[in-house]
Amino acid sequence: MPPEYVFDQDLGDLFVVRTAGQALDPLITGCVEYGPAHGTPLVFVLGHTGCGAVRATIEYLEDGLRPPGQLDRVVAAITPAYQMAKNSFHQSLSRDERIDATVAAQVQLTVTALRADPVIAGSGAMVTGGRYSLTTGVVGQVQA
C-alpha cells in the first residue's frame, strides 16, 4: 500500500524508503538517514498485516521452506523479530496472527535501531512506527 495513500499525502510529500519486512542493512539505513539529514522531521516505520516477507520467514523457521535467491537475507533480518514475538505466542494463535505479531516486533526492532543511529538521532527527527491493516485501512501505532 503506498504510504501517500495511507496518510492522504500527495506524491513527493513523503520521503519513502521501502524494504521487504522493514529489513535494515547499512545501505537501507543510509537511505533512511538521507531524509532527516535534509530536514525530514519524522521517520515512520510502517509494517502491514499479512506481510509476505514475514510469512516467508515463518515458513522457513516453522516449516523448513527455504526461500529462493537472496530472500534468505531478508529472512535472516526478520528472524530476531520472530524470536522476540515467539515469546508472546499462545498455542492457539493462527499463522496469520503469528505473522502479525512478528510484523509488530519487526517494526519495534527497526524503530529501535533507527533511533540509535547517530545521524538520525543527531538530526532531531522523531522515529516511531505502526502497522497498517490491509483489512480495515487503519494504521495502529506500534510501541517501541
For the chain, the DSSP string reads: --HHHHTT--TTSS-----GGG---HHHHHHHHHHHHTT--EEEEEEETT-HHHHHHHHHHHH--PPPTTHHHHHHHHHHHHHHHHTT--TT--HHHHHHHHHHHHHHHHHHHHHH-HHHHHHT-EEEEEEE-TTT--EEEE--
Residue 51 marked ligand-binding: yes
Dig out the grid coordinates for 11 from the structure. Answer: 506524491
Half-sphere exposure of 43 (CA within 13 A, CB side): 32
Q: What is the pTM of this model?
A: 0.93
Q: What are the pLDDT digits (tens) for 53-95?
A: 999 999 999 999 999 999 999 999 999 999 999 988 777 889 9
Q: What are the pLDDT digits (tens) for 90-144?
A: 778 899 999 999 999 999 999 999 999 999 999 999 999 999 999 999 999 999 8
Walk me through the domains of the chain, giving residue ranges and CATH numbers: 3-142 (3.40.1050.10)
